[in-house]
Amino acid sequence: MFAITSSHTASGTSRGRVSKAAMLLAATAFAAMVAGTGTAAAGPQHHGTDPAATGCNQNAYLAATRGIQTESGQVVSYVDVYYSNSCQTNWIRVRSNPAGGAAIKDIWADGQPGLPPETDYGSGSSYSMQVYAPGSTCIHFQVHLKYPNGQHYAETYTAGANAETVC
Residue 60 pairs in a beta bridge with 84
Cα dihedral 20, 26, 28, 30 in deg (nearest 10): -150
The per-residue DSSP string of 80-94 comes to EEEEETTTTEEEEEE
Per residue in 54-90, pLDDT (tens digit) is 999 999 999 999 999 999 999 999 999 999 999 999 9
Contacts of 31 (CB under 8 A, 6+ apart): none
Q: How many CB atoms lie within 10 A of CB 8?
A: 9
Q: Give the residue-averaged pLDDT of 21-38.
A: 39
Domain ranges, ordered by start, for the chain? 4-35, 44-166
Q: Quick one: pLDDT band at residue 30, thresholds 50, 70, 90?
A: very low
CATH architecture of structural domain 44-166: Sandwich (2.60)
pTM, entire model: 0.76
Q: How many CB atoms lie within 10 A of CB 153?
A: 18
- What's the burial of 130, exposed, middle or buried (CB within 10 Å: 0-12/13-18/19+)? buried
Per residue in 7-18, pLDDT (tens digit) is 333 444 444 444
